[in-house]
Structure 1
């Protein structure tokens, strides 16, 4: 279940969501059910260490999608690095044939990834809200829906 509420930290209120897309090295088709299950459990554990949550996760044969909610004190690039490093070590440790046949060396993930921020108001709505801060008739409070 996706928690779309604002969260509170010691000195911050936030709502940060990121859609991550990770691909195995050489875009190999190694995402079987057991690989996906290992990835999901590892991603949940790593997110917890960072104070983040894995809201959604799914794989196709050659890539994985994650929806992550994370606190502002976490550098997203550092979270992604940990997700990839730890999951790679754990999947490779199993020495499953679908992985060892398709990938050689110590790597599992491609060095690149995609990240898209998501949630909140559309950019044009936020831009209009900012432009209208000095307007005497503006609505007070959060972004208009």
Structure 2
């Protein structure tokens, strides 16, 4: 089996999720120090929850996160944990974000990717900053 597969007591798995989520009203608030802090917080929380960040890119009005997780965590739980954590910290540290009714929208995009398409997703996310 591939080295990418993870092993637990009763399971072998490879779950890679590509998430895209946006600030409320798609406002372009994820710039400068906010962008750097979003990346830092997402990496910190994923490490804490033992999820592997495969790719991460923060655009001014959305976030791409490619993450590997265990089968005991549903994608909606992952988004709830990441959005709640980042929203609370960012709104404390950046007062101008407190004026928004909420930092993140309740919606998000998620897709799964296996071994073959993982490289494609990583390339797509990496290309986001260089697009015209």
Q: TM-score, structure 2 length as denominator?
A: 0.78
The answer for unaligned runs of 5 or more in structure 1 is 123-145
Q: Is the 8 A contact 2:39 2:58 kept in 1?
A: no
Bigger share in helix: 2
Counterpart-to-counterpart distance in 2, 1:53 and 1:14? 13
Note the 1:35-50 alignment, pairs <5 A: 35-50=34-49
Match of 2:57 in 1: 58
Q: Is the 8 A contact 1:50 1:79 kept in 2?
A: no
Which of 105, 108, 114 is equivalent to 2:103? 108
Query: CA RMSD, aligned part only?
Result: 1.8
Q: Is the 8 A contact 1:44 1:54 kept in 2?
A: yes
Larger Rg: 1
Q: Is the 8 A contact 1:50 1:74 kept in 2?
A: no
Q: Which has the higher contact order (CA 8 A, sep 6+)?
A: 2
Asked whether 1:32 is paired with 2:31, we answer yes
Match of 2:115 in 1: 120
Bigger shift: 29-38 or 40-49? 40-49
Q: TM-score, structure 1 length as denominator?
A: 0.72
**Deviations 1:33-55 (Å, cap 9, x if unpaired)?**
31122111211222123221112
Counterpart-to-counterpart distance in 1, 2:32 and 2:12? 37
